[in-house]
Amino acid sequence: MEQIWVLGLLFFCSIFSADSLESYPKDCSVILKDNPSAPSGQYVIQPGDSPALVVNCEMRSDAGWTVIQRNSKGSPITWSESWTTYQYGFGDILGDHWIGLEYIHLLTDQRSYKLRIEFYDSSNILKYAEYDSFYVESVSDMYRIRLGSYEGTAGDQMTKAETNLLLDNTRFTTKDKDNDRGNGNCASNRGGGWWYGCCADGYLNVEEPFWKNLNVARVLMMILPVKC
């Protein structure tokens, strides 16, 4: 299937420049703070130094999570995309999508965030992995990921101590830009684009998202500001 860009992103980018846009909330948490009854769904946000973006917001009690990725087994998108495509995002905002490394960097650069990954199996049973800090460096450092401490029920496949499987502090790799620590290109071998390290026990931007010891039917990645 031909790539489908994140709905709404090109519309805002093509009609307005970042300088001419009115000010939008910086993330979904601001939307919920301003309107505690706001439902989950699509909203326009504008992180610092970014054009306006259409994103999914998961509104849960007092937490407005900004979704950065959604994927499902047998996804209609292949995830085998180029560096530039991963940089600026792709997919269907109403379904499986990746909002883009550049926008994840701009989001996490404006304040401190944590990352929550939710995994659902074919029976819709939830398991999760949460990291109490999450930051993605700029393109000059190949969008290196920085993660804090893990807690959850899914198992830690990103910061565990095994040297060859540690994903924290790794750069992002795609089929046309190899930044991993393994022999060969993990994105070419495993598919998709990810912080592969030495190819890893968890990689979620592929047609069949993988997390060791889980049967993943669908996955959701989202971020929330950390309260000081």
Indicate if the pLDDT at residue 14 is higher than 60.
no
Among 51, 181, 71, which residue's Cα sits nearest to residue 119? Answer: 71
What's residue 102's pLDDT? 98
Longest CA pairwise span in the chain (Å): 50
| CA–CA dist 99, 67 (Å, integer) | 8
The confidence band for 9, taking pLDDT boundaries of 50, 70 and 90, is very low
Indicate if the pLDDT at residue 15 is higher than 60.
no
Could you tell me if residue 91 is left (phi over 0), alpha (psi between -120 and 50 degrees) or otherwise beta? left
| CA–CA dist 134, 114 (Å, integer) | 5
Is 92:5 a contact under the CB 8 Å cutoff?
no
What's residue 166's pLDDT? 85
Which range has the worst mean pLDDT, 7-16, 75-84, 108-117, 200-209? 7-16
Higher pLDDT, 191 or 162: 191
Residues 108-143: tens digit of each pLDDT: 999 999 999 999 999 999 999 999 999 999 999 999
The confidence band for 172, taking pLDDT boundaries of 50, 70 and 90, is very high
| CA–CA dist 182, 159 (Å, integer) | 17
Give every CB contact of residue 194 below 8 A, 6+ residues apart in sequence: 172, 173, 186, 187, 200, 203, 204, 205, 206
Tokens 């085998």 — which residue?
A: 80
Residues 49-96: tens digit of each pLDDT: 999 999 999 999 889 999 999 999 999 999 999 999 999 999 999 999
Please give the mean pLDDT across all residues of the chain.
90
Instruction: Identify the domain containing residue 39 by its residue range.
Output: 9-225
Residue 41 lies in a domain: yes
Residue 120 lies in a domain: yes
Could you tell me if residue 216 is left (phi over 0), alpha (psi between -120 and 50 degrees) or otherwise beta? beta
CATH number at residue 84: 3.90.215.10
Is 141:147 a contact under the CB 8 Å cutoff?
no
Residue 67 lies in a domain: yes
Per the structure, the count of domains in the chain is 1
Bridge partners (DSSP) listed for residue 130: 116, 151
SS3 105: helix
Indicate if the pLDDT at residue 7 is higher than 90.
no
Residue 171 lies in a domain: yes
Residue 2 lies in a domain: no
Mean pLDDT of 135-157: 97
Instruction: Please name the helix (run of DSSP H) or strand (run of DSSP E) that holds residue 150, with its range, or none.
Output: strand 150-152
What's residue 216's pLDDT? 97
| CA–CA dist 186, 167 (Å, integer) | 13
What's residue 16's pLDDT? 41
Residue 1 lies in a domain: no
Indicate if the pLDDT at residue 5 is higher than 90.
no
| CA–CA dist 99, 89 (Å, integer) | 4
Indicate if the pLDDT at residue 19 is higher than 70.
no
Residue 208 lies in a domain: yes
Among 189, 225, 207, which residue's Cα sits nearest to residue 91? Answer: 207
Two tokens at 73?
């087994």
The confidence band for 22, taking pLDDT boundaries of 50, 70 and 90, is low
Give residue 57's identity as a one-letter amino acid code: C
Residue 4 lies in a domain: no
Neighbours of 14 (CB within 10 A): 9
Bridge partners (DSSP) listed for residue 116: 130, 222
